[in-house]
């Protein structure tokens, strides 16, 4: 799955510097010594990368994403033409930040999404790396779902999470993190039925595609899902607080951002990882009136919360 981390010489036939003047013409000329040692160009020493910092976050990256995805594209169910237009745009943003993006296609069944029938079809995950992951070695994942239910422009759910993901991508590009990082924009997260198996299609496809070595190396996954409203950032876990949620809360504290624990939280892509034994947590999920509604437009989303989400993630990755 991963893309793993590129003589000139000149010689001349010249008299050695400092040689005696040539003798008279009737004498045998003094021998000359050719210069045959090639001149090597020294290999420059790589400049060490600076460590990623929450202060590298540019929130305008996130706000631009919310405006484009929810304001320009609008509703984007996971198998729709609008969804693929959104995926094209997000891929362009990731690649502009220097990330290598692979598309993972997967099937999504027909169903009923928040009261509206939706057709079966193909969807796609965008998997972004910096070329530094090695199967079996430790790595971290951060994801956000790109699709919406059919009736919602999806500013908070989930252009906010995708915006924070893109802001994170820009902030850590060319920066050192404690482990290699994979960023994923997931397709078809929204439900098409009542059970876990009618939900989170993209993240389930992604986890299923991981090799045993990749699973061994994956230390934790964080899902950014509805991070743009409220005053504090929920940190969600499918069970009791644990080592991962402790890490995230500590990272938020270092970044100067407020959090609140949200236990028994399964309604996001982190659950696809946790149910397979991989540590996972969610940022976001504050209730708001526009949830899965046509009123979920860019004005719902708070700039300060977008910034907080990205700062927390960068602090955790650092």
pLDDT at 255 over 90: yes
Q: For 129-143, what is the mean pLDDT?
A: 96
Architecture of domain 54-317: 3-Layer(aba) Sandwich (3.40)
pLDDT exceeds 90 at position 12: no
Q: Which tens digits make up the pLDDT trace of 165-196?
A: 999 999 999 999 999 999 999 999 999 999 88
CA distances from 183 to 54, 142, 281 (A): 17, 5, 15
- Across the range 15-26, mean pLDDT stands at 40
| pLDDT, mean over the chain | 89
Please tell me whether residue 254 adopts helix, strand or coil conformation: helix
Spatial distance between the Cα atoms of 23 and 282, rounded to a whole number of angstroms:
88
Burial of 32 (0-12, 13-18, 19+ CB in 10 A): exposed
* Confidence label for 47 from pLDDT (cuts 50, 70 and 90): low
């Amino acid at each position: 799955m991963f893309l793993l981390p590129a003589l000139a010489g000149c010689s001349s036939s010249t008299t050695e510097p400092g040689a005696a003047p040539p003798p008279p013409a009737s004498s045998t000329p003094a021998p000359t010594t050719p210069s045959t040692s090639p001149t090597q160009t020294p290999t420059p020493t790589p400049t060490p990368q600076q460590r990623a910092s929450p202060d590298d976050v540019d929130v305008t990256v996130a706000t631009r994403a919310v405006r484009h995805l929810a304001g320009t594209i609008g509703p984007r169910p996971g198998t729709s033409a609008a969804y693929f237009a959104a995926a094209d745009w997000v891929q362009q943003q990731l690649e502009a930040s220097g990330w290598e993006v692979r598309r993972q296609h997967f099937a999504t069944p027909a169903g009923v999404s928040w009261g509206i029938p939706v057709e079966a079809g193909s969807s796609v995950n965008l998997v972004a790396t910096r070329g530094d992951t090695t199967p079996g070695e430790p790595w971290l994942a951060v994801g956000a779902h790109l699709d919406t239910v059919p009736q919602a422009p999806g500013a908070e759910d989930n252009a906010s999470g995708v915006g924070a993901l893109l802001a994170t991508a820009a902030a850590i590009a060319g920066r050192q993190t404690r482990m290699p990082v994979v960023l994923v924009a997931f397709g078809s997260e929204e439900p098409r039925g009542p059970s876990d198996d009618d939900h989170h299609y993209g993240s389930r496809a992604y986890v299923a595609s991981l090799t045993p070595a990749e699973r061994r190396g994956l230390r934790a996954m964080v899902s950014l899902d509805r991070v743009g409203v409220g005053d504090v950032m929920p940190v969600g876990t499918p069970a009791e607080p644990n080592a991962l949620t402790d890490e995230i809360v500590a990272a938020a504290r270092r970044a100067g951002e407020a959090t609140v624990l949200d236990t028994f939280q399964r309604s996001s892509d982190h659950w696809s990882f946790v149910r397979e034994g991989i540590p996972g947590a969610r940022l976001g999920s504050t209730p708001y009136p526009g949830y899965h509604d046509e009123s979920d437009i860019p004005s719902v989303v708070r700039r300060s919360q977008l910034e907080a989400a990205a700062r927390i993630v960068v602090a955790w990755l650092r």
